[in-house]
Amino acid sequence: MRVPIPPRGVDYRGKVVLAPMVRSGELPSRLLALHYGADLVWGPETVDRSMIGTTRRLNPRTNMLEWSRLPTNPQHRANNPHPTESVIYRLDPVREAGKLIFQIGTSDPERAVAAARLVAADVAGIDVNAGCPKPFSTTGGMGAMLLQTPDKLAAILEALVRDITPAFGVGISVKIRLLETAPQTAALVRRLVATGITGLTVHCRTTPMRPRERAIRGQLRMVADICREAGVACVMNGDVESRDCAVALMDEFAVDGAMIATAAEKNPSVFRAGGELAPWRETVERYLRYAIEVENKLGNTKFMLTQMIPGREDVYRELARCKEYRAIVEALGLDGLVEMAAALDKTLGIGEEEEEKKKENKGQQSKKRKWAEAAGRGGKAGNKKKTAVEGETGVIDVGATAVAAEPLPAAAAAAVAI
């Protein structure tokens, strides 16, 4: 028996997929993973409150779908009387068609459904994050905090299965971590697979564990067996280094699929079979081409390049000084991308702020030079007379320069001194 796959949904069985990663799961990274053979890609966790209130638009310059909204932070609005909209989520409706899973951060069934409705027509599945232990995810009871409230987690999944699957034809899945004991994990998994979900991903670490700690697989076969009995696909995550590694682990632990995270962040060619990785210059050039094509945020692009470029390379250090796309591609010697990069910088206004700062700094330096020169002349002319107003003589200090004035009446002299 298998849980039926909805008309627009995907079956996770036999798939090697890109994990949901904050910063590393943005659109250019997903396109690169697909290029190298990823079967499916998860976008980064997107909090329900961030999505609710967004407007869906097709970017006419890139043909990418974007969900954007004005900033809601009162302080930001106060400091920016004319704020611009921020892109909360972006996808490629052609290259990601049928392969993108939207992961939602939520702690409330109604908000989960409201956020999912905004994007469900454009993705292949909705996944609930119930495993991330980082504070930005656990705030408000989301992420790994849901493991402590299994009834709430089940209610969220049931609401999505009830309201989203029939309306949009996509499946609902969940990503969890292991609990402290096998019986606890087994009880949780049994509760979740009874909600109507089509897939469950288990990260083979407990909530307190960090990526540097080796994944533990002692409970994995048990989780896979429970999922199989319920007809739900089971995907494993944790220390999966390549497609070949994924296939071997799928066979060893009888799981249906495998998810790659950190290894794909460093070199997305891990998704191709055979084990031989593409050289970093190849992956970086293709990544930059995608980043420019989709108008990716410069900060995110620079972060990803620091993950993909070996730290021993000279260009790794040069990257920190780059303030625009053109500077990045020139530093890497990618002449074929210079024109595209310059055009994007102009479109997004990248570099304009830096130029304004340079002009402002030049202006301040010029003023300082003039003041210094004036002070030098004033010192020669009459340092002994340097005072705001000296009695009846009317000597006035302008800046750092003593200027002799005509004698002033006592009343006028007093007024200037005040």
Q: Is 374 among the domain residues?
A: yes
- Specify whether 320 is located in the same domain as 368: no
Q: Is 254 among the domain residues?
A: yes
- Specify whether 160 is located in the same domain as 287: no
Q: Is 8 among the domain residues?
A: no
Residue at a domain's end among 223, 252, 275 = 275
- Specify whether 320 is located in the same domain as 293: yes
Q: Is 3 among the domain residues?
A: no
Distance between CA atoms of 314 and 328, rounded to whole angstroms? 13
- Specify whether 80 is located in the same domain as 218: yes
Find out whether 188 and 147 touch, Cβ atoms under 8 Å. Answer: yes
- Specify whether 345 is located in the same domain as 244: no
* Residues involved in catalysis: 132
Segment (H or E) for 35:
helix 27-35
Q: Is 11 among the domain residues?
A: no
- Specify whether 81 is located in the same domain as 192: yes
Find out whether 104 and 115 touch, Cβ atoms under 8 Å. Answer: yes
Query: What is the secondary structure of 273-305 as a DSSP string?
Result: TTSPPPPHHHHHHHHHHHHHHTT--HHHHHHHH
pLDDT tens digits, 50-103: 999 999 999 999 999 999 999 876 665 566 666 789 999 999 999 999 999 999
**Nearest residue to 26 via CA among 48, 43, 47, 50:** 43
336-346: b or e for each residue (b if 16 or more CB lie within 10 Å)? ebeebbbebbe
- Specify whether 138 is located in the same domain as 42: yes
Q: Give the Cβ contact number of residue 275 at 10 Å.
A: 11
Q: Is 240 among the domain residues?
A: yes
- Dihedral sign from CA coordinates of 355, 360, 365, 369: positive
Which band of pLDDT confidence, cut at 50, 70 and 90, is reported for residue 274? confident
Question: For the residues 267-277, what does the mean pLDDT come to?
Answer: 93
DSSP label at residue 405: -
Q: Is 283 among the domain residues?
A: yes
Domain containing 113 equals: 16-275
- Specify whether 147 is located in the same domain as 245: yes
pLDDT tens digits, 351-394: 765 555 555 555 556 656 666 666 565 554 444 433 333 333 33
Question: For the residues 289-293, what does the mean pLDDT come to?
Answer: 98
Residue at a domain's end among 275, 295, 317 = 275
**Nearest residue to 285 via CA among 346, 348, 331:** 331
- Specify whether 271 is located in the same domain as 287: no
Residue keyed to tokens 């000279």: 314
Question: For the residues 329-340, what does the mean pLDDT come to?
Answer: 97
Q: Is 58 among the domain residues?
A: yes
- Specify whether 258 is located in the same domain as 339: no
How confident is the model at residue 91, as a pLDDT?
A: 98
Distance between CA atoms of 148 and 177, rounded to whole angstroms? 11
- Specify whether 96 is located in the same domain as 231: yes
Judged against a pLDDT cut of 90, whether residue 417 lies above it is answered with: no
pLDDT tens digits, 183-236: 999 999 999 999 999 999 999 999 999 889 999 999 999 999 999 999 999 999
The number of domains in the chain is 3
Q: What is the mean pLDDT of the chain?
A: 87
Residue 322 CA, distance from chain mean position:
19
Distance between CA atoms of 126 and 38, rounded to whole angstroms? 18
For the whole prediction, is pTM greater than 0.95? no
- Specify whether 358 is located in the same domain as 227: no
Distance between CA atoms of 48 and 103, rounded to whole angstroms? 10
**Collapsing DSSP states into helix, strand and coil, what is residue 45?**
coil
